[in-house]
Structure 1
Amino acid sequence: MSDVPLPPDVLAQILSWLPVTSLLRFRSVSKPLRALIDSDYVTNLHLNHSVQSNSNTNLLFGGDRSLYYFNLDSDTNAVNKIHNPLYFAIFETVILGSCNGVVCLCTIEPDNEIAFWNPIVRKFKKTRLPPAKCLEGLGRGLCIKGFGYDHVHDDHKVVRLVQYCSLFKELVHSKIEVFSLKTEVWKEIGDFPYRLCSRKYLNVFTNGALHWLVSRQPEVKVGFLIAAFDLATEEFTLVPQPDFANEKVQVNLGVLGGCLSVVCNYPKCNVDVWVMRSYGVKDSWSKLISTADVKIIKDLDFLRPIVYSKSGREVLLEKNFERLYWYHLENKTSERFKVAGIPRLFVTEMFTGSLVQVKIGSASRNVEKKEENEKKNNRKKDDFLSKGFRLVL
């Protein structure tokens, strides 16, 4: 056997095929291997391979303050309870979303403690956002947060949408703010000219933008629009929606395989799932699922597509925040997907296992330096006291 080492490019390609847990173990082999695994090149190569091959797919189940983790490639059918970085916060934890393997957790207003967390690497950064400003006589209004990644500026961002409505459901004031993790600064973008239609799973992130189901009218029944907020340009656009019957339909947004999706629920009749194959192109909408399966439509209040199976022949669906189903695209049947250990009511978040970690801004670096200096000073004091005094019994 040859003792000639592999070229770094070849070794990086091999490493990109491995699970994150294996890569974390291999970091202990040698300093050169650790440096290669920690490099941006291997991190990005591994993430791109995972996305293209639909591998390293994980599910995060949020229920109250507890978080549970499940790997779809695992041989077991039970979740593992995982430490919640915000477990000891006063308010409950909300999963804002995930991208590139980073999950954003947040406590509700007015606490606003936020954790940017990689569940596989088990490292996180925390910060606290200022509460939404109140308008005199209108209280705090409706405050919705979303999470996404600005690929142009390599920056994770939190978007906060605040709306104030009158007693007659008329939109009085609506504004949108953006928090940059890189600069740790809030920036008010301006007025948001639409009214939110639904309060269930209000925003979804895909194609570099957050999306909301909105309307220009007080009542949802008059129709809806899909509003998009680009995190790179920080501008609003409208995304064309699919053509479907508007009568007695309940609509919500989702993301499936990186594509924007629309779920149309015709109560006690059937449910359709549309997928936009080419982002922004109206003609690219296709009806992926149309089913009247009793297991799906019975008592259906909310349905969301989560992820494709590794073969691409099934779609995992979350129903009413309490059940999961695999829907078979070929024979158009569904079967219950039971995972041991998940809470009775839960929110499912799909994330790709990756080595990506958030890049914190200058403010947090200054805090970290201050804490390090305080620790050094405390150690010096302890050393002085231990050398200068002796306890006599």
Structure 2
Amino acid sequence: MAELPSEVITEILSRVPAKPLLRIRATCKWWRSLIDSTDFVFFHLTKSRHSIVILRQHSRLYELDLNSMDRVKELDHPLMCYSNSIKVLGSCNGLLCICNIADDIAFWNPSIRKHRIIPSEPLIRKETKENTAITTLLAARVYGFGYDSFSGEFKLVSISYFVDLRNRSFDSHVKIYTMRTDVWKTLTSMPYALCCARTMGVYLSGALHWVVTRDLEPESLDLIVAFDLRFEVFREVKLPGSVDGKLDMDVAVLRGMLCMVENRASEGFDVWVMREYGLGESWCKVFTVEQPRDVKLIKLLKPLGYSKNGDKVLFEQDSKKLCWYNLASKDLSWVRISGMPNNIEGTVCIGSLVPPSLQRRIVERKKPKSVDENNKKRDDFLSKGFKLTL
């Protein structure tokens, strides 16, 4: 490949998964310089199509390839020596945010095996308020992890949700950690009540998403809120016209689009996607998963991704199992992984070269200069076809 134009080499390498690139990086100083460059890291990110599922089982994390569900590999995560319990707080641009029972938190890229330990979140004094210590409880603490492309840094949001049992009221403390300052900052309270104690906000298009309600009354309707990581404010997301919020629902990302799953109890689950982010009229119901008649009632289905040929969708069921939904036959089939127990949770993580310490302001992701130059020459060469052996 030495005689190829540099822009062609850049284009070829950008399509190689992250882990093989680490081996390529070790063979040549020029390739090391290219692969380590920030321009290439982000160009590779725009091309990345290799997704893995991170499975959590108590204190252990495993890597499962979506294209070969029979192969699972245990990962040496950076908090292994700290505690016997681990949680995944979020996934963004190939990085995972993980924490343990002692509230140690790390940003970690499992593809390149690099991590960054961040300061623990300060204790919240409200948990011991003098006048209401008996009736005010910390009901939940949820997190969201994402990337602010305007400031060029990863951010972690923490929402501590308090309930006053005597007055049937609620309050929240919202804090945000930014890599640039390396400190936690307190924000304005969130004027919504969390619908469940899930620890993970859903990241898409510079915002984190949760399902919330306006008050604690049983008849209160569910809605989706987004936290804008640039402006650090909450906003409501318009629901599909036929969805009124009376039924339980959850949010996810499916094929790069905001996804909402509405639980219709014994009838099944309606799966919606927002084809154009931020445009409420672009919601579209893509399919319905019917409740199986021969198994225990499913309470939660979280979509993780499509199969390689797009004929099936992988779901996490009730935070315990993985199952495939066949779009043609409309059947559910449960995934059996040799040596793995049933009580597992799944998080999708793309393979990337993004280091956990990266700070870069990017308004719009652009190709490296070597790729933008002489595009016609590159395209003419690629059109002839080539084979790359790693």
TM superposition score normalised by structure 2: 0.84
Identity of aligned residues (%): 34
* Matches for 1:277-296 after TM superposition, within 5 Å: 277-294=275-292
CA distance in structure 1 between the partners assigned to 2:166 and 2:347 by the alignment: 35
* Residue 73 (str. 1) matches residue 64 (str. 2): no
Distance 2:242 2:2 in 1: 62
| Deviation by residue 1:15-66 (Cα, 9 ceiling, x = unmatched) | 011122211111111111111111122211221112xxxx211010011110
Tell me the alpha carbon deviations over residues 106-158 of structure 1, each in whole angstroms, 9 at most, x when there is no partner.
124xx321111111111111123133312112465532221111111111111
Bigger drift between 220-229 and 145-154 goes to 220-229
Residue deviations 1:174-227, cap 9 Å, x none? 221110022201111212111112224552111211111111121353211211
Q: Distance in 2 between matches of 1:92 and 1:185?
A: 25
* Residue pair 1:163, 1:171 contacting (<8 A) in 2 also: no
SS in 2 for 1:343: coil
Which runs of 5 or more structure 1 residues have no equivalent in the other structure?
A: 362-393
Highest CA radius of gyration, 1 or 2? 1
Name the CA distance, whole Å, in 1 between partners of 2:99 and 2:335: 28
SS of the aligned residue for 1:275 comes to strand
Q: Superposed, which structure 2 residues align to 1:1-393 within 5 Å?
A: 5-50=3-48, 55-74=49-68, 77-90=70-83, 92-108=85-101, 111-135=102-126, 136=129, 137=133, 138=136, 140=138, 142-168=140-166, 170-200=168-198, 203-244=201-242, 249-294=247-292, 298-359=296-357
What is the DSSP-based 3-state SS (H/G/I as helix, E as strand, rest coil) of the residue aligned with 1:327?
strand
State the one-letter code of the partner of 1:120. S
CA distance, structure 2, for counterparts of residue 130 and residue 200 of structure 1: 18
Quote the Cα distance in structure 1 between the aligned partners of 2:233 and 2:326: 38
Deviates more, 1:230-239 or 1:121-130: 121-130
Please tell me the residue identity of whatever aligns with 1:95: V
Which amino acid in structure 2 is aligned with residue 65 of structure 1?
S
Give CA deviations for 1:306-354 in whole Å, capped at 9, x if unaligned: 0122223321111112222222223433333333233321110101111
Comparing 3-12 and 297-306, the one that deviates more: 3-12
In 1, Cα distance between equivalents of 2:295 and 2:265? 7
Change (3 A) 1:173 1:265: closer
Three-state SS of the structure 2 residue aligned to 1:163 is strand
Displacement after TM superposition at 1:90 (Å):
3.5
Query: Aligned equivalents of 2:151 and 2:252: distance in 1?
Result: 25
For residue 268 of structure 1, give the secondary structure of its aligned residue in structure 2. helix
CA distance in 2 between counterparts of 1:296 and 1:256 reads: 28
- Which amino acid is the alignment partner of residue 57 of structure 2? G
Q: Counterpart of 1:377?
A: none
Q: What letter is aligned with 1:205?
A: Y
SS at match of 1:198: coil
Cα distance in 2, alignment partners of residues 47 and 209 from structure 1? 18
* Cα separation, 2, equivalents of 1:295 and 1:304: 19
Report SS of the residue matched to 1:37: helix
Distance 1:63 1:220 in 2: 33
Deviation at 1:360, TM superposition (A): 6.3
Q: Is the 8 A contact 1:13 1:45 kept in 2?
A: no
CA distance, structure 2, for counterparts of residue 338 and residue 66 of structure 1: 18
**Inter-CA distance 351–4: structure 2 relative to 1 (3 Å threshold):** closer
Matched-pair contact (CA < 8 Å) for 2:90–2:200: no
**Equivalents in 1 of 2:265, 2:181: separation in Å?**
46
With CA pairs under 8 Å and 6+ residues apart, which has the higher RCO, 1 or 2? 2
Tell me, what secondary structure is at the counterpart of 1:241? coil
Partner of 2:385: none
TM-score of the two chains, using structure 1 as the length reference: 0.83
- Once residues 98 and 327 of structure 2 are traced to their aligned partners in structure 1, the CA distance between those partners, rounded to angstroms, is 33
Change (3 A) 1:297 1:214: farther
Structure 2 counterpart of 1:316, one-letter code: L
The one-letter amino acid of 1:100's match is: N
What is the rounded CA distance, in whole Å, between the counterparts of 1:280 and 1:297 in structure 2? 37
Q: 2:193, 2:215 within 8 Å by CA — same for their partners in 1? A: yes
Matched AA of 1:210: L
Note the C-alpha offset of 1:168.
4.3
Query: Aligned-pair distance for 1:247?
Result: 8.8
Q: Which residues of structure 2 form unaligned runs of 5+?
A: 360-390
In structure 2, what residue type is equivalent to 1:145?
A: Y
| Structure 1 residue 295: Cα displacement | 6.7
Distance change in 2, residues 1:91/1:231 (3 Å): farther
